[in-house]
Amino acid sequence: MMNKPLIRVLIVDDSVIFRNFLRGCLSNISNVEVVGAARDGVDALEKIKALRPDVVTLDMEMPRMNGMEVLAKLENRDNKFEIIVVTGSNSNDTERTLKALEAGAFDFVMKPTSSDKDPKVTLIKVLTEKIALAHRKLKGAARAARTPQRAPTRIEAQRQKIAQAKAGNSGGAIVKRPRTLKGRPDIVAIGSSTGGPKALHALFSELSANIPVPLVLTQHMPKLFLVSLAKRIDDVSSLACVVAGDGMELKPGVIHVAPGERHMEIVRSGGKLVVALTNGPKVHHCKPSVDPMFFSLAKLAPAVKVLSVVLTGMGADGAAGSLEIGNKGGHVIVQDEKSSVVWGMPGATAKMGAAHEILPLNLIDEAIMRFFVK
Where in the sequence numbering do the catalytic residues fall? 193, 220, 317
CB-based contact 301:326 (threshold 8 Å): no
Q: Which of 373, 333, 335 is nearest to 355 (CA)?
A: 333
Instruction: Give the integer Cα–Cα distance in Å for 138 and 151.
Output: 25
Instruction: Give the integer Cα–Cα distance in Å for 223 and 225.
Output: 5
Q: Which residues contact 201 (CB under 8 A, 6 or more apart)?
A: 102, 232, 233, 236
Instruction: Give the integer Cα–Cα distance in Å for 197 and 203.
Output: 10
Q: Which of 336, 284, 361, 313 is nearest to 176 (CA)?
A: 336
Where in 214-271 does DSSP place strands (E)?
A: 215-219, 240-243, 254-257, 263-269
Element (DSSP H or E) covering residue 24: helix 16-26
Q: For 252-271, b where at least 16 C-beta lie within 10 A, e where not — what string?
A: eebbbbbbbebbbbbeeeee
Which amino acid does the sequence have at 292?
P
CB-based contact 188:213 (threshold 8 Å): yes
- CA distances to 88, 110, 124, 200 from 113, rounded to whole Å, are 8, 9, 14, 28
Backbone φ, ψ for residue 106 (5° rounding): -70, -50
Instruction: Give the integer Cα–Cα distance in Å for 41 and 188.
Output: 41
